[in-house]
Structure 1
Amino acid sequence: MKAIANFLKFRRYCTHEKVQRKILPIVDSKECIPEPELDVEFFCNPANRDQIFENIKRRKSCGDIDKVLYLCQKPELKHLLLNELSRIPNLTHPATLNIGNHPEISKLCGSPPEFDFQPTEFEKLAVKMRLLRMDALGPVSGHRSYIFLGDLADLEQALIHYTIEKLTTQGFKIVSVPDILPTKVIERCGLIVDGDRTLVYQLAPHYGDEFSLSGTAEMALAYQLMNSTLEHDELPLKMAAVSRCYRAEASSLADERGIYRVHQFTKVEMFVCSEQDKSDEIFAYIQNIQENLFTSLGLHFKVLNMPPCELGAPAFRKTDMEGWLPGRNIFGELSSCSNCTDFQSRRLNIKYKTKDGNSVYVHTLNGTACAVPRMLIAICETHQLKNGTIAIPNNLQPFMNGKTVIRQQAVPDMRTYKYKPKVM
């Protein structure tokens, strides 16, 4: 009787919960992702064959324009045609076509720091000061992982807050994005998701769909705009996001040791949708923001125009910025900036209305504002002092409670894990 009385007393809440669960829609992400609307008229025109073939060759792409031209004549093989068209890379900016197989230095910014001592590379400096742990982190973290401690963890947050503050003054809207995305979206944005060269961590298919860990916020920001048509006065639409980035890539190069290339890291990313005839202008605008950010932190760096073979599938044009790392005595990549024209928008159905009322595809652009691990390497190596401490750049000090120098940390010892394989 007591059980029945309790049920009658609380039945309103029980019934409400049951009804709520019934009306919640189950959305299959595959149903929301549109079919790509590729430029069939251009790619299936035999008159353009040689131009496309040469572009594929220069970009070292796996696309096959001759197969595309063959399938164009077979309406019953439309699904195969779409698959082959998706392998064709974006066209290439005319100025980029004149670059050989190696990046072209566009400009040098700032001056290299001068030392009256032998500068130490970041990992040795950080470990000695008890700012960083990379070894014996246990089975959860695994290879190419790290833990920032004390002031270095604070410096990471300072970099993020400083970067976001600078971007908001430029009119960027800050968006919080998911780290798990439909694999199909990642593929539509131009990343390789299968084969030996995949950079993507794919999740086990326990939930009836294919999902992967995001490699950059650019893809989630594009996903947010999927199947939308922007008004002309909304452009350029400038968005930025702070996210964790997951990369399955590995490297055995000595220059990429330590935290230079890791499997997960924090990054602030810029993403812009622009009118088609304004994307070159926006490309220069994003690059200028990057240059100002790095200059304001006292870094010496060079701007590189990347050759066709380094563009990847989506980019029409790309620049990299490499910062001087005095501890390693090399330049290392800090950021990149890409104009993807309509490569991504055609695959995700992102359009805008022109002044005359037509709907056309936006041009999408992206640029790294702050990739934390490499920025920390450049800042700490550039601003290290003779006594083994690190001077905090003036512009970051307000985000470090006014602290001006990072010294050896008084942090507790952490447990050292030793992996012991099971004996079968």
Structure 2
Amino acid sequence: MFTIRKLRISKYFLPSNSLLKHLSRNVDYLHQIDVNSTAKCDATLQNELDSSEKNCIIRKHHNNVPTIRSILENLNTPHLNQSEIQNLQRSLQQELHKLPNKTHPRLLDYGDDPRELARYNKETEFKFKPKEFSELASKANLLRMDHLGNFTGHKSYYLMGGAAEMEHALTQYFLTKLKSVGFRLISVPDILPKEVIEGCGMQTSGERTQVYKLNSGKCLSGTSEMALAGYFSNKIFDEEELPLRVTSVSRCYRAETSGLHEEKGMYRVHQFTKVEMFSVCAEEQSEEMLESFKNIEISLFDKLGIHFKLLDMPPSELGAPAYQKYDIESWMPGRQMWGEISSCSNCTDYQAKRLNIRYRTNNNEVKFAHTVNGTAGAIPRLLITLFENNQLEGGSIRVPNELQKYMNNLEEIKREKRLPELKLVKHIKSAK
């Protein structure tokens, strides 16, 4: 491992301190270094870089701390010209951007496995072998995913009849509940600058990126969390205004899908509808806000009558921005598997530092805000679990009581008449 010995702080390096303070989560110590105490500076630096490296490893995140060490060492090379210093500072900025958030101390001994905290509702009992969603919906003429590769692309779908109605019913159900507990509804754009997406913690480049990039340089949003966070960027709130709670329904675009058998059909697709919760809050409010989001999600799914479990996720499942995260998985009897239907995360000030979201305390101190996000409902996954758990032997699907009022009091979804199929033709001859 590369280590720094007798680190000296370049006079050219000092102006970047405020920048580092804004960008760094794990290395905030850089702006506090006493330049007149080289020994103390070196010890502080070593301890904090070691801590950052351990955090990367436990989260199974790309470990770029050795690169940061090397850049810091190069910054203290004698006789650097201004251009060389600026290039190194830009490189340091980029590497600091890549560091993950800190990890909640509660999670440090979890290993790679989540902790199951609770289960809700009983598993559905069947007197017949339950069908998987794709088979169930296709036979009822409610879903089409086949022969779409040349038309709308791989992993795309059409929903018809009762399935399309249930999609909209779920959206209305979530929004009605969220607005009743004080969430403000915002409609958001689907096309965003890459800086906003990267500021939220998702990379827009690399082999495994999930982001669709457009020729204009903009990107398709992977979740409305990104647009909501971008809406609050470069804003300063008074502490009395916080916490803010907003919700949005949008299409979400994901470039990468899975070939795993258990994720076939609509389980993992390139675009889908999702209802999102998002909060900007003061630093002492974020853990309580996360618990609030978790309890809202539990209440929403509990009323739908599905069998689900609450998981406290380990460090390796937090991604880059989350300090802690809860997942909710529902039992899907047709697939004979647990499938994730929701999650919520406390990102502390990770996103706020990158998007410059701040607040002024009652003592007139300006701090970076904390952000919390949560999925009220990812619609395709919920359709899967609702169809599979409410199917009847003849192929019909019971509509949960909570959704019936959003579906003209429909109690049961039955087979639809077959719609004419779309066919691709190479040439169309005009009538003479």
Q: For the superposition of Structure 1 and Structure 2, which TM-score range results when normalised by the shorter chain?
A: 0.7 to 0.9
Shift of 1:70: 3.9
Q: TM-score scaled by structure 2?
A: 0.85
- Residue segments in structure 2 that go unaligned for 5+ positions in a row: 1-18, 32-44, 77-84, 428-432
- Residue segments in structure 1 that go unaligned for 5+ positions in a row: 1-33
Q: Which deviates further from its counterpart, 226-235 or 366-375?
A: 226-235
CA RMSD, 1 decimal: 1.8
2-structure distance, mates of 1:138, 1:307: 37
Partner of 1:57: 57
Amino acid of the residue matched to residue 50 of structure 1? D
Correspondent of 2:396 among 389, 396, 402: 389
- Contact 1:149–1:411, Cα closer than 8 Å, also in 2: no
Correspondent of 2:298 among 267, 271, 291: 291
Q: Which deviates further from its counterpart, 182-191 or 62-71?
A: 62-71
Correspondent of 2:22 among 33, 37, 62: 37
Amino acid of the residue matched to residue 67 of structure 1? T
- Contact 2:21–2:28, Cα closer than 8 Å, also in 1: no
Partner of 1:19: none
Shift of 1:67: 2.8
Partner of 2:98: 87
Query: Within 5 A, what are the aligned runs for 1:10-25?
Result: none
SS of match in other structure, 2:23: coil
**CA deviation map 1:163-191 (0-9, x unaligned):** 00000011111000000000121111111
2-structure distance, mates of 1:115, 1:282: 38
Q: Which runs of 4+ in 1 moved over 3 A?
A: 416-420
Q: Which deviates further from its counterpart, 285-294 or 300-309?
A: 300-309
SS of match in other structure, 2:348: coil
Shift of 1:43: 5.8
Correspondent of 2:359 among 336, 352, 361: 352
| Cα distance change of structure 1 residues 106 and 42 upon mapping to structure 2, 3 Å threshold | farther
Partner of 1:398: 405
- Contact 1:101–1:308, Cα closer than 8 Å, also in 2: yes
SS of match in other structure, 2:404: helix
Amino acid of the residue matched to residue 285 of structure 1? S
SS of match in other structure, 1:400: coil
2-structure distance, mates of 1:84, 1:304: 31
2-structure distance, mates of 1:106, 1:169: 27
- Contact 2:344–2:373, Cα closer than 8 Å, also in 1: yes
Q: TM-score scaled by structure 1?
A: 0.87
1-structure distance, mates of 2:412, 2:343: 30
1-structure distance, mates of 2:239, 2:335: 48
2-structure distance, mates of 1:234, 1:79: 35
Partner of 2:371: 364
Partner of 2:67: 67
Partner of 1:238: 245
Pair 1:161-2:146 in alignment: no
Shift of 1:36: 8.3
- Contact 2:20–2:30, Cα closer than 8 Å, also in 1: no
Pair 1:48-2:48 in alignment: yes
Q: Which deviates further from its counterpart, 399-408 or 70-79?
A: 70-79
- Contact 1:104–1:306, Cα closer than 8 Å, also in 2: yes
Query: Within 5 A, what are the aligned runs for 1:323-362?
Result: 323-362=330-369
Partner of 1:4: none
SS of match in other structure, 2:22: coil
SS of match in other structure, 1:86: helix
SS of match in other structure, 2:98: coil
**CA deviation map 1:256-301 (0-9, x unaligned):** 0000000000000111111101111111110001111111101111
Partner of 2:286: 279
**CA deviation map 1:65-101 (0-9, x unaligned):** 2332443351712111101111111010011112111
2-structure distance, mates of 1:287, 1:247: 24
Partner of 1:104: 115
